[in-house]
Amino acid sequence: MSMKVMTVVGARPQFIKAAVVSREFNSDKDIDESIIHTGQHFDRNMSDTFFEELSIPQPSCNLGISGGSHAEMTGAMLVALEKAMQETLPDVVLLYGDTNSTLAAALAAAKLHLPIVHVEAGARTHSQTNPEEINRICTDHVAQLLLACTEANLENLVHEGLGNRSAFVGDPMYDAFLQNSPRAQVPVLTGTNGVSDFVFPDRFYYLTCHREENTNPEILGSLLDAMDAMDAPVIYPVHPRNRKGVLQALEERGTGNVLAVDPVGYLESLYLVKNAQQVITDSGGLQREAFFAGVKCTTLLDFEVWPETMVDNRNMLAAPNPKSILLAMDAPQRIDPEYKPFGDGRAAKRIVDGLKAAFE
């Protein structure tokens, strides 16, 4: 009889990671995967687009839970996921990353004594106020199999006494990057304000910014000041969390150097990463993609999420103010082509092999 794996996803970066693993499952007759979508991300360009572009199997159900406070969202997901798990009775629950969807699924599964596999285990920012840090620590500590993207993440797990159920597999984001790079597409940009007559610039910078820590009007204003100092347009696909704030700021101050646009698809985002002069972001995924593409990155956070990328000036932290951002961007990077901390692009295969070895 085949093993029943329930994958729980809800947010944009999780669709990308799950896509490469689902592809492995599809060619494995011993595994029967069902996908539950919590509904955390729900706009077409934050969800359906990724399922279509990456040929992810349709979820068996979408719980339709999004927004509200952390407790409201996580609590509602916990109740609904418990029910879904009781109905399906999976052999294993497979989780990715550090979102509220991850935490809710981890708590629901743990209380039902269902084994959990956590992909992207062991990432640590050591910032207790970072909501994702709480999600990832709790998930790691109730999971039975912890699969780390980097050796340093594995070491974090060993330090927390979780080494005997942990392994380094590599980063499925790197698998996705390698598999999909040849399909990267020039984006068709639609302005956040509905305008769509952009001429796609030859030279540009790629900005994304969506962290809870970075979305107040003061920080946004300071960030836009810094972007106005760039020597080329800044393409800024605006995460829905920021939509209202960005529209208001650009209305008050004028658009300046910034092309604020709706979120783009994954293949379009890959084009932007690979062809940008530089990347400026607070996204964990985009920091890694800039690193994979050899494009200099400036990270708008006061803690390191992926220290592996922060060698030889390849990715530098900056406070969200023009002086700090420009200082980071001006420091030239050095690329050592032999340095590959995120594995060899075969993480998905190792995830499936590890899961089967542990639970079959």
Strands (E), 48-184: 61-62, 92-96, 116-121, 145-148, 166-168
Vertex 145, ends 355 and 169: CA angle to 5°? Answer: 70
CB 175 within 8 A of CB 96: no
Q: Is 41 among the residues that bind ligand UD1 (CB under 6 A)?
A: yes
Cβ proximity to ligand UD1: between 143 and 238 the closer is 238
Q: Is 132 among the residues that bind ligand UD1 (CB under 6 A)?
A: yes
End-to-end, the C-alpha distance of the chain in Å comes to: 10
Lay out the site mask for ligand UDP across 2-41 (x = CB under 6 A, - = otherwise). ----------xx--x-------------------------
Give least dist CB 213 to ligand UD1, A: 11
Q: Which tokens sit at 359?
A: 């639970």
Cβ proximity to ligand UD1: between 12 and 314 the closer is 12
Cβ proximity to ligand UDP: between 10 and 265 the closer is 265
Q: Which helix (H) or strand (E) holds 287?
A: helix 284-293
Name which position in 136, 210, 288, 314 contacts ligand UD1 (CB under 6 A).
210
Q: Is 13 among the residues that bind ligand UD1 (CB under 6 A)?
A: yes
Cβ proximity to ligand UDP: between 60 and 214 the closer is 214
Q: Whole-angstrom Cα distance, residue 316 to residue 8?
A: 32
Name which position in 6, 46, 219, 295 contacts ligand UD1 (CB under 6 A).
46
Q: Is 284 among the residues that bind ligand UDP (CB under 6 A)?
A: yes
Q: Which amino acid is residue 289, in one-letter code? A: E
Q: Is 124 among the residues that bind ligand UDP (CB under 6 A)?
A: no
Pairing mode of beta strands 116-121, 145-148: parallel
Catalytic option among 37, 41, 210, 239: 210
Active site residue 141: no
Cβ proximity to ligand UD1: between 233 and 284 the closer is 284
Name which position in 25, 205, 266, 271 contacts ligand UDP (CB under 6 A).
266
Q: Whole-angstrom Cα distance, residue 334 to residue 321?
A: 25
All residues at 6 or more sequence positions from 6 whose CB lies less than 8 Å from its CB, including other chains: 33, 34, 35, 36, 84, 85, 88, 90, 92, 93, 94
Q: Which tokens sit at 343?
A: 């594995």
If you search the block for the tokens 């200099």, which residue do you land on?
Answer: 296
Give the residue numbers annotated as catalytic, written as ranges.
210
Residues of this chain that bind ligand UDP (CB under 6 A)? 12-13, 16, 208, 237, 263-266, 269, 283-286, 289
Residues of this chain that bind ligand UD1 (CB under 6 A)? 11-13, 40-43, 46, 66-67, 98-100, 131-132, 210, 240-241
